[in-house]
Amino acid sequence: QQQVKQSPQSLIVQKGGIPIINCAYENTAFDYFPWYQQFPGKGPALLIAIRPDVSEKKEGRFTISFNKSAKQFSLHIMDSQPGDSATYFCAAVAAGNKLTFGGGTRVLVKP
Amino acid sequence: GAVVSQHPSRVICKSGTSVKIECRSLDFQATTMFWYRQFPKQSLMLMATSNEGSKATYEQGVEKDKFLINHASLTLSTLTVTSAHPEDSSFYICSALWSKETQYFGPGTRLLVL
């Protein structure tokens, strides 16, 4: 049973475009939502994270939007660059520190 | 961010042998580390939670006698794949708990069992 649903599975944008990745969850015990970026053959790297009492958070070109009532959150990559081409995972954490990952989104930014 | 290393980065072994993978937190102490497995084009699957000085907690379906975990110090956890078989070939990734919720991941270890 996938507790964090992530969509789309893949997307392609032109350089400068804004890829948007969406995640939804059911477990209301989740109280911390990180996003990870993974390049092929590498481990995931923490990008940005948000708590449910915040509706939006920006770090550089990465923005998380959070809708607590809908139990949904999304990642926007502003002014995307070819170097942003990677797989992005949303995740959620409840008590116990365990990360529950979404299925991942492969993003390709074309020059 | 905090730095986590893994060694080796890739290993090839013969079926039936055991392989040990090390995970180190380089610039912080981690009482809790996690081990994941990742198949191509798939998400990370949590295998076990490793706590310093105590027995690891394994996720449902993970054989604890096959995947031995030792967390002997606050900066080192090891995963030993015992009697490895081709189906154990995978990308193994560790992470270390830096704060209450934040995990930093290692670069991963590619295991190929022939």
Chain A residues in contact with B49 by the CB 8 A cut-off are 97-98
Residue type, A94: A
- In which band, very low, low, confident or very high, does the pLDDT at A2 lie, cut at 50, 70 and 90? low
Both structure tokens of A30: 């989740």
Q: Do A44 and B105 touch (CB under 8 A)?
A: yes
**What's the rounded Cα separation, in Å, for the pair B52 and B58?**
15
* Chain segment B34-73, per-residue pLDDT in tens: 999 999 989 999 999 999 888 899 999 999 999 999 998 9
Q: Do B102 and A34 touch (CB under 8 A)?
A: yes
* Chain segment A70-108, per-residue pLDDT in tens: 999 999 999 999 999 999 999 999 876 789 999 999 999
Partner residue opposite A97 with nearest CB, options B32, B43, B107: B32
**What's the rounded Cα separation, in Å, for the pair A25 and B105?**
23
Q: Do A44 and B42 touch (CB under 8 A)?
A: no
Residues 6+ apart with CB under 8 A from A60: none
Tell me if A38 sits within 8 A of A61, measured CB to CB.
no
Cis check: omega of the bond before A19, within 30 degrees of 0 = no
* Chain segment B62-83, per-residue pLDDT in tens: 999 999 999 989 999 999 999 9
* Chain segment A32-53, per-residue pLDDT in tens: 999 999 999 999 999 999 998 9
